[in-house]
Amino acid sequence: MSARELLEKIAVLLYAIVYKYCYLVGLFTQELLEGVVRFVSRHVRRAELRLIDFARALPPALSHLLHRLRRSLQRQRLRAGRTFGSVRVAAEQMRSGRGREGLRTFGRAGLELLRQLFPLLRTIVNLALPIAAILLLWQNVQLVGRQQYALRVAYAGETVGLIKNEAVYDRAVSQVEAKLQGSQQGTPIDFSANFELIPVGESDPLLDEYALSDKIIAASDNDITEAFGLYVDGSLIGAVAQKNTLPTLLAGLQDRYRTDDPTETVSFVRSVKVVEGLYPEGRVVDGETIGSLIDREVQGEVVYTVEAGDSPSLIAERFGIPLRQLLRNNPGIEESLLIGDEVVVDRAQPYMSVKISRVETYEEEIPYSTETSEDSSLLKGQRKVTREGENGLARVRASVTYVDDVETERNVLSRTPLREAVSEQVSVGTKLFAQTPGVYSSGTVSSNFVWPVVSARAYVSNGYYGYYGHGAIDIAAPYGSPIIASAPGTVVMATYSASGYGRHVMINHGDGVQTLYAHMSALAVGVGETVEQGQVIGYVGSTGNSTGNHCHFEIRVGGSKVNPMGYLP
């Protein structure tokens, strides 16, 4: 077989393949388009019928408008029918082997279809273009928003670098002035510079105030050297030549408070930064010098001597400090505050205060509650403990913060009960006091008096014969516990004495009987008032000649002191 014959057979084979492909495409296209035409024609016809029925019920003007719409639909349907008819003819031509004629007929049908669809395409384009413009504008806004800008700095006629904003340059100027302070300067530095806003990429480096200050100071005629500067709260303290000097000094200050607790974090209260750069030779010092600058106190200890009438809250108010700070500086001040005691109002503060935070686990008592019940066999104002209370116990896990070993904050993370608290039960008397003439002097009816201190923690700390000339009993109780009238009567004295009784009250009960209550922290009655048994007349304190919070209680009969224990229940 020659090459010519081979090419002819290949050509015949290709023609047969193309013919069959075109035949099948034409057949499929014809069936598809005929189905579409039938569907559209059926629904258009239904719409026409509905329009005709609807138009008959409308005014002539609207009826004419709908008639024109119907005619337009008919024309569109006829044009579509001709177009789809051309498609059918083209398909038939391709099936019969007239592929070239079929393609031309199919092309003319396609152009006609495009002309018919042009109004619809034009409407779609008119709607799509504004939407596309809005999307393009949004993309541009996003692009501009993501674009980063920086200032290009030109100093002394040369470009020195890029900075974020002019505030960086202002801080750099302040850094240069701080570096030159106290050193011998050459020609004064001209800090004027030119700035140009330019777009930058993420990889373009920006200078901070420290790097920019190095470039400015390098352009001066001062004697400078490479060193390591220590900045505290943004202020330059000094510079050293050796790299390890400052980290060693700073770590030594923190090690004074550091423990082996793995949960512990140690830091300085002030902002501390070590910056390598260029510094005037006059600001570079040795390690001992800069060590003395940071290891110093900036405020001395303030001590106050307690005077008559003072209390923790009054002292804190006088010096304008929180009561919590006063109690933290003076543990136990709430339990005992005597005249002449020295109270630490403020402690010495290191220049480089160290902050330590750690998680601590410890056991803590849970205070018991008190349950009261009335008892008609006890006089009003009298209290009797029928069951002792017992504190509970809990394991506490807390985050604790210290500054220079002084606790400043405590946040409880968890509390696990170990032992439940047992409530205290107290009986409170309701029986009214009945005063009978002559009953006091006999000393035989003890129920006519009640205990003068209302507190479950009260106890006799010093008896009638405790020391020479005492002539009373001392009832110790927590600071501020109520003191009540042991019997009804009239207040004949309510005053303060810097020595002796301090704040004290005397009540006349008639029949030559008087009671005296001394060393009160505050008075609740005045001279001339009539008081009932159990009425609050003052509060436990330690004023006057006293060595702790208590109530000095006397009973006088006919002007002579008697042992109160013989008259109290």
- DSSP-derived letter for residue 453 is B
Last residue of a domain, one of 413, 432, 451: 432
- The answer to whether 350 touches 301, Cβ cutoff 8 Å, is no
CA atoms within 13 A on the CB side of 548: 11
Structure tokens at 110: 């396609």
Q: What is the arithmetic mean of pLDDT over 57-72?
A: 58
In a shared domain, residues 289 and 182: yes
Tell me which residue range forms the domain holding 301: 297-352
Amino acid occupying residue 434? A
- The answer to whether 398 touches 452, Cβ cutoff 8 Å, is no
CA distance 28 to 46: 27
3-state helix, strand, coil in the chain (%, to 5): 35, 35, 30
Instruction: Give me the pLDDT at residue 208, please.
Output: 87
Residue 352 host element (H or E): none
CA distance 222 to 225: 10
Residue 379 CB: number of other CB atoms within 10 A? 23
Instruction: Give me the pLDDT at residue 145, please.
Output: 66
Q: What is the pLDDT of residues 466-500, one digit of tens each?
A: 776 788 999 999 999 999 999 888 999 999 987 78
In a shared domain, residues 161 and 226: yes
Q: What is the pLDDT of residues 358-406, one digit of tens each?
A: 999 999 999 999 999 998 876 555 668 899 999 999 999 999 998 888 7
Nearest alpha-carbon partner for 214 in 146, 304, 144, 278: 278
pLDDT-derived band at 55 (thresholds 50, 70, 90) equals low
Nearest alpha-carbon partner for 534 in 431, 387, 386, 456: 431
Instruction: Give me the pLDDT at residue 144, please.
Output: 64
Q: What is the pLDDT of residues 299-324, one digit of tens each?
A: 666 788 888 778 888 888 888 777 87
In a shared domain, residues 265 and 157: yes
Amino acid occupying residue 166? E
Q: How far is CA 65 from CA 43, 54, 201, 240, 477, in A?
A: 20, 12, 64, 97, 106
Instruction: Give me the pLDDT at residue 438, please.
Output: 41
Last residue of a domain, one of 108, 141, 174: 141
Q: Which long-range contacts (CB under 8 A, 24 or more apart) does 20-27 make?
A: 22/94, 22/99, 22/102, 23/94, 23/95, 25/94, 26/90, 26/91, 26/92, 26/94, 26/95, 26/102, 27/91, 27/95
In a shared domain, residues 301 and 288: no
As for how many domains the chain has, the answer is: 5
Q: How far is CA 384 from CA 170, 379, 387, 454, 569, in A?
A: 75, 11, 9, 10, 11
pLDDT-derived band at 81 (thresholds 50, 70, 90) equals low
Mean pLDDT of the chain: 80
- The answer to whether 284 touches 227, Cβ cutoff 8 Å, is yes
In a shared domain, residues 450 and 533: yes
Q: Structure pTM?
A: 0.47
In a shared domain, residues 444 and 557: yes
CA distance 22 to 566: 133
Structure tokens at 448: 């006519």
Indicate whether 5 pLDDT > 90.
no
Indicate whether 11 pLDDT > 50.
yes
In a shared domain, residues 50 and 81: yes
In a shared domain, residues 314 and 369: no
Indicate whether 14 pLDDT > 50.
yes
What ranges make up the beta strands (E) of 383-511? Answer: 383-387, 392-403, 406-419, 424-431, 459-462, 473-476, 482-484, 489-496, 503-510
Q: What is the pLDDT of residues 191-233, one digit of tens each?
A: 788 888 888 887 888 888 888 888 888 777 778 889 999 999 8
Instruction: Give me the pLDDT at residue 80, please.
Output: 62
Nearest alpha-carbon partner for 73 in 91, 48, 107, 52: 48
3-state secondary structure (DSSP) of residue 286 = coil
Instruction: Give me the pLDDT at residue 62, please.
Output: 56
In a shared domain, residues 35 and 162: no
In a shared domain, residues 155 and 218: yes
pLDDT-derived band at 95 (thresholds 50, 70, 90) equals low
In a shared domain, residues 301 and 270: no
CATH of the domain at 403: 2.20.230.10
Last residue of a domain, one of 323, 352, 381: 352
CA atoms within 13 A on the CB side of 453: 29
CA distance 401 to 357: 4
Q: What is the arithmetic mean of pLDDT over 11-24?
A: 63
CA distance 486 to 484: 6
Nearest alpha-carbon partner for 253 in 239, 232, 234, 235: 232
- In our burial notation (b when 16+ CB lie closer than 10 A, e otherwise), range 141-171 reads eeeeeeeeebbebebeeeebbbbeeeebbeb
Q: What is the arithmetic mean of pLDDT over 83-94?
A: 64
What ranges make up the beta strands (E) of 289-423? Answer: 297-299, 302-305, 342-346, 349-350, 354-366, 370-379, 383-387, 392-403, 406-419
Instruction: Give me the pLDDT at residue 449, please.
Output: 85
Q: What is the pLDDT of residues 413-447, one digit of tens each?
A: 999 999 999 999 988 877 654 444 444 434 333 44
In a shared domain, residues 303 and 165: no
pLDDT-derived band at 265 (thresholds 50, 70, 90) equals very high
Instruction: Give me the pLDDT at residue 87, please.
Output: 63
Instruction: Give me the pLDDT at residue 537, please.
Output: 96
